Amino acid sequence: MAKINIKINGKPLDLSNLPEFEEHTNLHDIARHLGITNPCVVKTTKNSYDLSHKLGDIDEKDDLNFFDFDSPEGKHVYWHTSAHVLAQAVKRLFPEVKLGIGPAIESGFYYDFDFNDCNVQISKEHLKEIESEISNIISENIEIKKEFFDKKRALDIMSDRKEIYKIDLINEKIGENGQISFYNQKEYNDVCLGPHLKSTGCIGNIALTNLTGAYWKGDAKNKMLTRIYGISFPNQTDLENYLTKLEEAKKRDHNKIGRSLKYFTTVDSIGQGLPILLPKGAKVVQLLQRFIEDLEEKNGYLLTKTPYFSKSELYKISGHWSHYQDSMFLLKTEDGDSETYALRPMTCPFQFQVYLNEDRSYRDLPMRFNETSTLFRKEQSGEMHGLTRLRQFTISEGHLACTPEQLDEEFTGCLNLANYCLELLGLERDVTFRFSKWDKNNKEKYIGSEKDWEDSQEIMRKILDSQNLNYTEADGEAAFYGPKLDIQFTNVYNKEDTLITIQIDFQLARRFEMKYTDASGEKKYPFVIHRTSLGCYERTLALLIEKYAGAMPMWLAPEQVRILPVNENLINYSQELKTNLENFGIKRIKVDTHNEKIGYKIRAAQEEKIPYMLVIGNKEVETSKISVRHRTNGDLGLMSLSDFVKLAVDEIENKTIN
């Protein structure tokens, strides 16, 4: 008999009426006894366990943490098992298919397949057929069993099945004397660490949501596989609600709207993660950049302009060469120069040279450097999406050098600046705050001592708490040189990404011998704050497109006003009106000179999300007034030129969100 301590989704359970369970009782039965409707996984201090495990199999019985579908931990296991069910269904329908990988992701799961030997051109039309077979597998309620094999046996099994990608994974992950776990579902088995649900019948409902291409291991040098995405829920209502939200999300997807409204495009011959901003997108980014640079100048920042690449020596000093090289683009010259160069993944080592250009005193601090920085990072092809994750992008980067006594005020100033930018764009309610810390169990990822890290994290925590900031903490998300505050946003598909970061760096000043002379004449190292005021401009553009479904606020709209003459005879008058409006400060105006009916012109402007449309007919000319239409509020009636100018200019100058 065993007496155990139990939590459900991390919360302690009242154990006063808890019976003692036999050692042979499986965790799934215990979960049912506790009234957990959709149990998914059990975790102890050190391990995660499938629900098929017996209580006696677990070494640590002092604290069993049951997670159901309502928890992130539970969803991960539920969706990972769903990926295996997807793979089993595809394997039944297309026996010659080769299996890649099938992880849970933030919103569901996917599995990668190679259909090359199946004599079929797989398409979205096949998804319903696959969903039907998935339903059969769920109905069969197949027990999911885990077993272990040594490397030779594992390779033999996958060789017999001609699973070339699984063989690749086994050789990559397992040493000669190592073991690997398999999960079996009747005729289907897969190399996997787990954990998984007890049986396929534990899954309620699955829907397949998309089909795309993906390189094996995310490497463009490898073969392109077919990636099938899916989502699953315990009940049909939740699934239907999710699918409804997904359809709504697609209508706001910047990758769709941004292309249709001609904000950006991509070209295969240029490459993934290298978008071309079309005139509309380039104009929005230009407006943001000019505004941010002016704002930073008002806040005491000094503008710098630094090279896009450097010799590897610079990155070796900073530590990027040993901690970040896999994400860097390396360059070799062909003129006999043996030196290796690299495109910059961030600007800090370059801006430090500005500080080092002359001796610094405590009277010079704080020093605040800013730069509109174009950066380059070798993102994996499977990670790139639209404008949110790129190989070349531009950010509002900045670095501050300050004394320990100034750190609190300077960090708070960076946070206030970021919050001001978010509020101005109407994004303040769309972000969350994450305190990203080091992982003390993986120290090789970082530079500096444990004491350095604990001290700097405590400093940051005190600053965040003094600002009454509502934040979560995340181990292992810090930069290699210090902790950071990440301001996170979630896109329309519920995928989280970072928009703005503010980092405390207690290491790199030492590496670069950045010093200042304090009031007593002693040489000291400053603290360095790495920060962005708005983050990546391309990512911000994507977020704005999704937030406003392409209808940019007036001050950011690439075209603010469109003048619509009802016939060709009024084009010259419309051009004069355009000039008058420009003289009053409304700069981005277009006259529609197409030989089309006025209804067509209005619809075209409406579809392009133009804030204001001015209809010019004979009546407007005779009365010296203009008929004003708003993209959201419709017909605003006749206005005098001065009334419209006041309305539009106020909206631009006040940066109104509507």
The order of strands in the sheet holding 188-191 is 145-150, 179-185, 188-191
- Predicted confidence at residue 14, as pLDDT, reads 67
Taking the C-alpha atoms of residue 351 and residue 492, their distance in angstroms, rounded to an integer, is 35
Contact 99, 88 (CB under 8 A): no
Task: Enumerate the β-bridge partners of residue 517.
Answer: 361, 523
Share of the chain residues as helix, strand and coil, in percent rounded to the nearest 5? 40, 30, 35
Residues in the chain: 658
> Cβ distance 400 to 531 under 8 Å?
yes
Burial class of residue 202 (count of CB atoms within 10 Å of its CB; 0-12, 13-18, 19+):
buried
Q: How far apart are CA 115 and CA 476, in angstroms?
A: 37
Q: Which residue has the tokens 């603290």?
A: 527
**pTM for the whole structure:** 0.79
pLDDT for 586: 95
- Token digits for 169? 């994974």
**Would you say 506 and 527 are in contact if contact means Cβ atoms under 8 Å apart?**
yes
Q: What is the mean pLDDT of each run of 10 residues along the chain (658 residues)?
A: 70 70 83 85 85 79 83 94 97 96 92 92 92 96 93 93 94 85 93 92 94 84 92 94 88 93 94 94 97 97 96 92 90 75 94 97 97 93 83 96 95 96 94 92 85 90 93 89 92 86 92 95 96 94 95 96 96 96 95 95 96 96 95 95 96 91
Per-residue burial over 82-92, b if 16 or more Cβ lie within 10 Å, else e, is: bbbbbbbbbbb
pLDDT at 4: 67
Pairing of strands 302-303, 367-376: parallel
CA distance 86 to 70: 22
CB 633 within 8 A of CB 651: no
d(CA 93, CA 89): 6
Residue 579 C-alpha from the chain's centroid: 42
Instruction: Collapse the DSSP code of 192 into the 3-class scheme (helix H, G, I; strand E, B; otherwise coil) and give the result.
Output: coil
- DSSP symbols for 541-575: HHHHHHHTTT---TTT-SS-EEEEESSGGGHHHHH
Give the pair of three-digit tokens for residue 18.
């808890």
**What secondary structure, in 3-state letters, does 324-372 show?**
CHHHCCEEECCCCCCCEEEECCCCHHHHHHHHHCCCCEHHHCCEEEEEE
b (16+ CB within 10 A) / e for 459-482: bbeebbeebeeebeeeeebbbbbb
Helix axes 641-653, 571-583, angle to 10 degrees: 50
Q: How far apart are CA 577 and CA 547, in angstroms?
A: 32
- DSSP per-residue codes, 89-114: HHHHH-TT-EE----EETTEEEEEEE
Quote the CA–CA distance of 376 and 389 in Å, as a whole number. 11
Where residue 333 falls (left for φ over 0; alpha for ψ -120 to 50; beta otherwise) is: beta
Determine how many CB atoms are found less than 10 A away from the CB of residue 350: 23
Place of tokens 């009234």: 35
* Contacts of 67 by beta carbon, 8 Å cutoff, 6+ apart: 8, 9, 10, 39, 40, 41, 42, 43, 73, 74, 77
Contact 388, 488 (CB under 8 A): no
**Can you tell me the distance from the alpha carbon of 212 to that of 228, in angstroms, rounded to the nearest whole number?**
7
- Asked if residues 332 and 375 have their Cβ atoms less than 8 Å apart, the reply is no
pLDDT score recorded for residue 481: 86
Label residue 411 exposed, middle or buried (CB < 10 Å: 0-12, 13-18, 19+).
buried
Sheet strands (E) in 481-544: 484-490, 496-505, 516-517, 523-524, 527-536
User: What DSSP state is assigned to residue 122?
Assistant: -
